[in-house]
Amino acid sequence: MSPIRTRITATAAALPLLFACDAGSRPGPATTATDSAGVRIVYSDPASSGATCTIGEEPTVVIGDDDSDENQWFSSVRDAARLSDGSIAAVDQAWGEIRIYDSVGEHLRTMGRHGEGPGEFQDPYQIWVVPGDTIWVGDYSPWRYNLFAPDGGFVRVVRLTPLFINPSRAGGVLDNGYSVNSTVTWFRKADYSVADSMVVEGHGPGGQLVDTLASIPHGSWGQDNHEALRTYWLPRLFDAGAVVDAGGSAVALGHGLNAEVRVLDDGFNLRLIVRWTEPGREVTGADVSAWREDYTRDYDRPTSSPMAEAYDANISDGRPVADLFPAISALMVGRDGRIWVRRYDRPREQRGWLAFDPDGEFRCHMAPPAGSVLEFGSDYVLLRHESELGVQTVQLYRLDLP
């Protein structure tokens, strides 16, 4: 596996650092060290800790469950974030709107619509709230940010230089107005010998490129040469990719193969490395069989080519399989600076989240909630929930930490 190459902006020069993709275990007890550059390195063993964080049994706020009110009906909720007064901003991608709801879920105002003018959206995608409750909305194509005041007034648009044609694959907006944006570059070869790369960049408040922060391997793909498919690109089963998030005053970077997250400050300087034990990650034949059984149970084989052959390629004995399960499937920076790591779900397992405090110390385990996490706060979790009938809601739950 190629190393993750990271370029960190320093006061004198940019220092190249390497992530070694060793996937090795670390000492059991939590230990802390500081390297020669003053970077704090924290090792933890979550498996030895019973500390658990939980969310409330019932949501304290539900938005989107009243089909008699068009302001309480979502077509496609893409993201949501909480403002300082407890109100919630949600982006409906299909309607091209940002809606603000008060702390009990009552609709207050709507901003934006589809269009190309000031404060209008091509395709609103994600949302961040920075100090002063300025709302940043990621929009494409091309990728840019529309900024709104909390009262709904349009502030300005931030366009990236150089231009991002497609949406940023991962990143976020920091409290100081800097943003982290990423693209994926294909280096694919038919024999799976070269991984794609996620390039992570830091941009200033005006959208100008400040520095390239990292280049992270992002999964290996190869070709299945079925006659109907000709050149069908297929990822290695259980392969690891890049995980990136940014918010508050922290940028979190990792490669899914490693039980490690590197944390940069809001000046893009490396300040912290978080490492933890993740034993028993070897992929077995039973794991592969279970995945294939679940795939054939959940998806019907299409009756026509080339889709039928694509289906067959997914479950083919010839599809390459990773040796180790990834340690990470997702990464989030909480509004309070905590680092949340979504553990990779092995076949027929739901493994939940690990929480680390801003100083890198392990805090707690959290079981996977019934919904997609949109935001972690100090004492709350925002979720997107979809019912069996396809009704989408934004739900706020109380978060209790040990």
Task: Give one DSSP letter per residue of 348-401, joined into a string.
Answer: T----EEEE-TTS-EEEEEPPPSSEEEEE-SSEEEEEEE-TT--EEEEEEEEE-
In angstroms, the Cα distances linking 337 to 47, 167, 178, 216, 341 are 23, 25, 16, 23, 13
* CATH code (residue 209): 2.120.10.30
Kindly report, residue by residue over 157-194, the tens digit of the pLDDT: 999 999 999 999 999 999 999 999 999 999 999 999 99
Residue 1 confidence (pLDDT):
35
- Locus of tokens 């469950």: 65
Q: Containing domain of residue 236, as a range? A: 4-400
Convert the pLDDT of each residue in 42-68 to its tens digit. 999 999 999 999 999 999 999 998 878
Q: How many domains does the chain have?
A: 1
Contact 98, 90 (CB under 8 A): yes
Within 10 Å of residue 206's Cβ, how many Cβ atoms? 11
Low-confidence ranges of the chain (pLDDT < 50): 1-3, 7-28
- pLDDT value of residue 29: 58
Of 394, 398, 365, residue with least CA distance to 89: 394
Distance CA 230, CA 208 (A): 41
pTM: 0.92
What DSSP element (H or E) covers 286? helix 285-298
* Structure confidence at residue 25 (pLDDT): 39
